[in-house]
Structure 1
Amino acid sequence: MSNVLIVGAAGRMGKWFFDYFINLRKEQSEDQYLSKKTIKIEKIFLVDINRIEYFKMSEFENAYTSESITKFVEESDIIILCTPIKETLRILDKYIMILRPGTTLIEISSVKNSIHKYMSSISIKYSSLRFLCIHPMFGPGAQVSSSRNIIMHVPLNLISIRMESRILNRLFPRYRIILIDTPEKHDTLVAILISLIYFINLVFSKLLIEISTSKSLKMEKDLLKFLKQLAGSSYRIQSLLSESILTDDAPLFLNLFLGSDKSIEIIKKYGKIYDRISKKVEQKDERYLQNLVIGTKKNIKNQIDIDHSYDLLYRFLNN
């Protein structure tokens, strides 16, 4: 039986992990086979300096809250750090010496380079502890029981891969665990998959705000709602994505944009391409733009069935 401590439990991912372990514990009590192949969860500890709004002690058995890590840290077998990187580093520095042997520490940051170096270093000194760098590739709205959830796993070293993978498979038996061999590769992938998407959609939302105050549209009340009434599929999907992204807190945006050199590099590259194309639009260079569309389409079709993508889009919209 293992006790789980979730640090940063008041946040949205903290709540997701709480829901996940509550559900896993319930399933373990009902399914003997699942209970044998997973790490059996007993107590769940929640820590945050902010009020944990979703928690009511009367509703959950063997679940406890505190503002202080000290209250639970020595009882915990698994510690999940749902905290910004700076706070994660501070917590590790402060509490690592009092953790009991065999404790598993899991960090879930979206940028790995610095935290991975630090954990690799301390894992040598504190060899009785187990350290895992993972990145859930889903947001706090993801269903805890969905087999579509993906977790990226960046092992600390070649020696520990098997042990780390075994722990993850026993904690998240339904999820697809994808091994990413280096933190640099992880950060490059995240720069493309998340940082760039957040950047593009933030710019899109800012543009809509500025357009809504323009001379031709400023008299239109609730312009954004009006646009949705007029919109076809492309705008509906785009606006839905940009609005959903804005539910995340500002520190996440800052971490995605500034926490990794790879993100800055990718965003800068995007800016250069944008500048080049926008100049051609200003110049009304039809030949360049036509070749751009045809060439881009050809290159994407070499790897992706874009007709299938189009069908998927409409299936999503019509559901």
Structure 2
Amino acid sequence: MPADELPPSLGAHRVQTSKDVAAIVRSVSQGRVHWEPVRSLWFSGMALAAVVGGALTFSWAAFALFVGSTVTVLLLGHSLGMHRKLVHDGFQCPRWLEYLLVWCGTQVGLAGPLSMVRTHDLRDFAQRLPDCHDFLAHRRSFLVDAWWQLHCELRLEHPPRIELESRISGDVFLRFLERSWMWHHLGVALLLLAVGGWGFVFWGVCARVTAGVFGHWLVGYFAHNHGHMQHEVVGAAVQGRNVPLFSLLTMGECWHNNHHAFPGSSRLGLYPGEWDPGWWALCGLRRIGLVSGLRLPVDLPYRPELRRLPAGDHHCPPKVLLAE
């Protein structure tokens, strides 16, 4: 593919672009990282409360609440609600179920739904270009990237325009969640305080949010720097990596090389041995009639910039992707 042309797959992207590739690259490359007080204080406050309050109020019941609630919001909220449904529209479901899944996604503690889509799409778009800012590429050292992603924001000099479709930008409930997502954590905290005291608050809210936000960054760092690849997006500044160790902890989101190759697929673990709890949950929901239209790589448009790597030949061939 010529260096002065954008991949055809970016033609339908939410990020609006011109045909000047050099200008587009500059728009996602030129900027500075600044400390963002709300993000920083939110994460730092939750982490401090989790460590101090959690240690002082530990009980096995509170710890079980932490494990159960964390698994629930990561699986139903982040993986199914925010990522596979809201961002990629990889399956269809009743609107009430989508709202419930997205609400669970806000309980991870990262951002509201509209911000999640914009943040995801800017990073996704930038990584598919020939170059982008180190912040968007997770290109700096482990500690620098941790500081940037957990406490800072990137302010681009000429940011591209991100056009959300009306099913997202015009939805009253999603806009309400965008404005109020932090307050929903307070509502959950008050409920847990009434049920189980401060131990349930520290473990069921503070520790859960800390684990969700920190884990999201940690997996993102490794999924763009360490791990094996079965596909290459030719000409992209950043390649996704598969990190098998995190398959269960991330509900299948760790198969990031697969996701870079087939971003619209609702199945992320595509090959034998790639455990994908998010996909298992979708299959269960489909069985009881709550979801339909699950998209797989075979359902997606052809990408001329996508290349199968020889190192992946010991897995099943691409044509098996995946008719179940």
The answer, yes or no, to whether TM exceeds 0.5 is no
TM-score normalised to structure 1 length? 0.24
TM-score normalised to structure 2 length? 0.24
Q: Which has the larger radius of gyration?
A: 1
